[in-house]
Structure 1
């Protein structure tokens, strides 16, 4: 079962779905970063823009993502030194004891 299927079959809270989707798009898909618009595309059903922004800010403040100004909006660039940690969060999901996971589950 691939990651997306597993995520969809796991009963996650909206904030958790937003977190794992952002981690997947930034760390595990080709490219050096994502435009904010592309990063949040498809997440409308999982919480409003305020919740999405809160998860994004948490990832930036924790050093998982760096923000940069692109030609057409904000870019989010993964901090590659956090890839193994992101991978562990993705594989453990609700069993994760990572501080980022624990913080986001409180939203």
Structure 2
């Protein structure tokens, strides 16, 4: 099934669509230099198929391209970063300590 991750700026969230249907999203709040990811949700019909990973990866990659850091306030995004160290550099050092992430 064709999937796409896109930034829905009007709703301040990245959405993943599957065959044109919104199947999940990760909400964010932008600050001056960082994007705080505050909530992630995937429709239960699509659980266990890797769509949350695809969504978060797309959102973080887009955030990086925009030159913003990431604040993983949402447990889903935090777990993604914990298990993929290549994304850890997006999290400011002060936030790593507060969130229990490696320095």
Q: TM-score range by the shorter chain?
A: 0.3 to 0.5
TM-score after normalising by structure 1: 0.32
Greater share of helix residues, 1 or 2?
A: 1
Greater share of strand residues, 1 or 2?
A: 2
TM-score after normalising by structure 2: 0.33
